Amino acid sequence: MYQFNFKYELKSLLRNGWIQLMTLLLLGLFLFAFYNGNEKVDKRKNDIQAAFNEVKESDQNMLLLLDSVQRGVEVSASRWTIPTKPMAVGNYHPRVAAMNPGPLAFVATGQSDLFSHYIKPKASGDDMALNFTEISNPVQQLFGSFDLAFVIIYLLPLIIIAFTYNVLSSEKESGTLRLLASQPISMRSWVLQKMGIRLFWVVLMIGVVLILVSVIIPSGVNIGELLPVSGVTLGYIFFWFALAFAVNLWVGSSSKNAIALIGLWLVFVLLIPSVLNQMGNALYPMPSRTLMINEMRSAKAEATKKQDQILDNFLRDHPEYAINDPNQNRSFYHRYMASQQLVREELQPVVGRFERQLQNQQQWISQLKWVSPAIIVQQELNALAGSSTKDYENYRKQVTAFAESWRQHLLPFLYNNKPFSTDDYENLPEFQYQRLTSDTTLISIIALVLIALIGVILGFLKGIGSQSTEKFITQ
Amino acid sequence: MIQSTLIKELRELLRDGRVRISFLIVLLLIAVATWISKTQYTITNQQYQQADNEERAVWENQGEKNPHSAAHYGTYAFKPKYPLSLVDQGVDKFTGTSIFLEAHKRNEAQFSKAADQTGLARFGDLTPDFVLLFIIPLLIVFLGYNAFTKEREMGTLVLLKSQGTPIWKLIFGKWLALFLPVFTIVFLLFIVAGIVLTNLENYGVFNWDSLGMLFLVYMGYYIIFINMVLFISLKLKKSGIALVVALATWILACLAVPKAASNIAESKHPYPTRQEFASNILQDQKEGLDGHDPWNKQAKLLEKKVLQEYKVDSLEQLPFNFDAYRMQKGEEHTAEIYLKHYKHLKTQFEEQSKLYRGLAVLSPFLPARFMSMAIANTDYATHWHFADAAENYRVELQAFLNGNFAENSAYGEWSYRANADTWKNMPQFGYDPPELGETLATNTSNLVILSVWVLGTFLLLFFTTKKL
């Protein structure tokens, strides 16, 4: 019976063009999504490369200038930009702190359209002034990107729904169910088989399409690296099939099934995420950025008023700099850097509040994401692509730490009144981005499969509740 | 016949449990979304008022200071929230809300709300525009997909044919049966929104005209969907298939095309990155605007010119502080450089907008979305308008400060302190968004596209079917 069923299904699916249509549709969608994802990643790589090249060029100039000054040659540059001054190096020759894309970055745009992927922190700039957001047309951010994550999370379920909503009902509506009822097979295992065959086809087609697309658009990823993405996608597909199975057994006519499934899609993909997000915001509200500006302003105003006193305190706390403090030689930067240090320390709790609330919200989502498979998949794909909220938070932290080490590297020159020289160039700190790895992939896949199993069991319960096929027919 | 079709259809809809549930859900969603938006609107506006007042106080109470120090100290321009954002939040969440106004530099608006949210927020927010733009068209699909297929399936089509009524009357009856419920819900929502807005304290620039226009835009958008769904139902034989096709249309129009458009716009007309943008400006500052006459060269010429004009031979003899005068000229020069680079951004933005308008052929969602945001003053163009106003104010502020410096001190007198009252003399930054007429004038193409969609789908529905 099983073999027969399989053959029959395959024939009918091929004859009414479903398989051909699906393959083309999937191929088109995946191709477009891959292309878009790759284009974004390429642009990101090129931008970063261009920034490095620019720094390299300006470094050559800096070394030439340094060399000239050391040999006592007159230089034409403005006095305050000559790199023997450590603050000139710190401000006019910053290093690139880049967040290079990971191998799977093309999978999900995530938060990457909001943030910059390279920053050049200056020695005198305060961390508050480090702007991590990217300039772009906000309409693009509002509409979102047509990436692989969009195809998987939003479109794949709809394709599955279109493929499965009438598995049982169409037989009922065309009257063939009565014939089937005469066969020695139970209704639920028969529906399960039909579903299994479709699941098999969808998975097979996605597999083929994935391989085809990675041949057509080489993204430099090997199939092995795509495995976690495939795993999560499979789990998600399994979930929607299970749901369709349950709905087919519980609900009735084709249209009713379709409406029920679309309703569920709406709930899982659009409503639950936005409600959870809204609740997260209500439970852990972000403090106001506009009011933060007020606090920042008054802290800075206070610091500016007391700059001399601050410098004295600073030197008291840092005797290593005070040794050769020639009081007469105190420049603007001596006072400025010391007061900036204080402002940073004072504002730390204010800035920390934002990060903490963001972490709280993230925590809240990780606890409740199990409510909707769409959220599980979104969070997981973003994490794999390295474009999640956490990744950008991690990057911000690393850049802030790097900005601090950049300053700390140059401060001894400033306070010891030691000129910066060509020999010191070698020792300038470089930024190296440490990527996060996702350790929840396996748990997510298991969770998706478990949720799917609930759907299958629900379907079976209906089957047990109405042992005879008669009920299905007469319903 | 129109009337009896209408009454029959409405009665059927009322009897259908699914329809009652969907209606209830939509109403509930609208209520929750409006409530959330209203709360947010009130809080944001309070914070805006507070921040604006405090910042002004900080500015006025700087005490005695050199005007150029005050220029570096700077001030902030805050973007107010507009009343109609209650209906459509538009791109507000993705644009910054505060611009730092300082000497020598034009800054971007900082602190977008989206950057302070988790990835979950990218699924979309529960706001009235979400319900209006996505859910109600979906409701139309659910209500109308079987308008004709059910007659076919139940065999009543034969009876209808035997009546001998013209097809258009039948179609129009069904059309009305879909239109009236949608009209009622949306009308109620807009009335409630209007009442909520007029009852809020200092609701600012809200007027009923804009709300009315917004209502018309949405009605046009729904009419397009009603026409398309009925057309699909008319042409297909089975309810199930009609539903799937109608849903596919919805997905294409509301989800797929806008996202694809966003990718195409971004890759065809890309913005520079923030760092690139900054370094291009730096380049022009170093080497002069477009590579000729860097500022220090121009400054030398200026020096000569001023000396000649006043017929004196040293800067000390001038009746004003030349340092400050030169600084003002330098400021004007920098402003020009910024203008050039922002113009480039604006060109890219306009090119992208054109592309969106071109792709509106594929989706009525695009013109409706853009019109709605524009009327609600939450679109990107309004943000530009605000940013430009802030830049104008910045330029005025610099002129005021440098003017004070030049008039009241001698050349080289950097120790000059303006007295503590000076800062009050600079008027506070105020911003008025474009009026409705202006918005409509700049968005005529979107209006035209939307109207073409309405007319086109009407023609499709009423004139392509000769017999059932």
Contact at CB, B271 and A115, closer than 8 angstroms: no
Write the ipTM.
0.89
Q: Does A24 touch chain B (CB under 8 A)?
A: no
Alpha helices in A251-331 (DSSP H): 254-265, 272-283, 289-305, 307-317, 319-322
Cβ contact A81:A102 at 8 Å? no
Q: Does B117 touch chain A (CB under 8 A)?
A: yes
A to B CB pairs, distance under 8 Å? 222
**Tens digit of pLDDT for each residue in A57-108?**
888 888 888 888 888 877 777 777 788 888 888 888 889 999 999 888 888 9
Select the residue of B123, B244, B275 nearest A258 (Cβ to Cβ): B244
Between vectors from CA A318 to CA A312 and to CA A321, what angle results, nearest 5°?
A: 85
What pTM was computed for the model?
0.87
Q: Does A248 touch chain B (CB under 8 A)?
A: no
Scanning the structure block, which residue is given the tokens 């120790």? B415
Q: DSSP class of residue B464?
A: S
CA dist B226 and B242 (Å) reads 13
Q: What is the mean pLDDT of residues B119-126?
A: 83
Contact at CB, A137 and B352, closer than 8 angstroms: yes
- In the predicted structure, residue A320 carries a pLDDT above the cut 70: no
The answer for B 174-213 residues in CB contact with A (under 8 A) is: none
CA dist B100 and B206 (Å) reads 27
Contact at CB, B123 and A379, closer than 8 angstroms: no
Contact at CB, A278 and B255, closer than 8 angstroms: no
Q: Is A255 left (phi over 0), alpha (psi -120 to 50) or beta?
A: alpha
Select the residue of A133, A154, A288 nearest B47 (Cβ to Cβ): A288
**Å between B455 CA and nearest CA of chain A:** 26
User: The dihedral of CA B451, B457, B460, B461: what is its sign?
Assistant: negative
**Tens digit of pLDDT for each residue in B263-277?**
999 889 988 888 888
Select the residue of A54, A297, A382 nearest B119 (Cβ to Cβ): A382
CA dist A112 and A100 (Å) reads 12
- Compute the mean pLDDT over every residue in chain A, rounded to the nearest whole number: 82
Contact at CB, B116 and A289, closer than 8 angstroms: yes
Q: Does B273 touch chain A (CB under 8 A)?
A: yes
Among chain B residues, CA nearest to A121: B275
Please list every residue in chain A whose beta carbon sits closer than 8 Å to the beta carbon of residue B378.
Answer: none
- In the predicted structure, residue A327 carries a pLDDT above the cut 70: no
- In the predicted structure, residue A326 carries a pLDDT above the cut 70: no
The answer for B 58-87 residues in CB contact with A (under 8 A) is: 58, 62, 73, 76, 78
Q: DSSP class of residue B317?
A: G
CA dist A145 and A33 (Å) reads 9
Please list every residue in chain A whose beta carbon sits closer than 8 Å to the beta carbon of residue B94.
Answer: 114, 138, 141-142
CA dist A235 and A377 (Å) reads 9
Q: How confident is the model at residue B291 (pLDDT cuts 50, 70, 90)?
A: low
Please list every residue in chain A whose beta carbon sits closer than 8 Å to the beta carbon of residue B51.
Answer: 288, 290-291, 293-294
**pLDDT in the model for residue B205:** 64
Select the residue of B62, B262, B270 nearest A144 (Cβ to Cβ): B262
**Tens digit of pLDDT for each residue in B174-227?**
899 899 989 988 998 889 888 888 887 665 667 888 899 999 999 999 999 999
Lowest mean pLDDT among A185-194, A234-243, B413-422: A185-194
Residue ranges with strand state E in B1-74: none
Scanning the structure block, which residue is given the tokens 């006025």? B60
Cβ contact A474:A181 at 8 Å? no
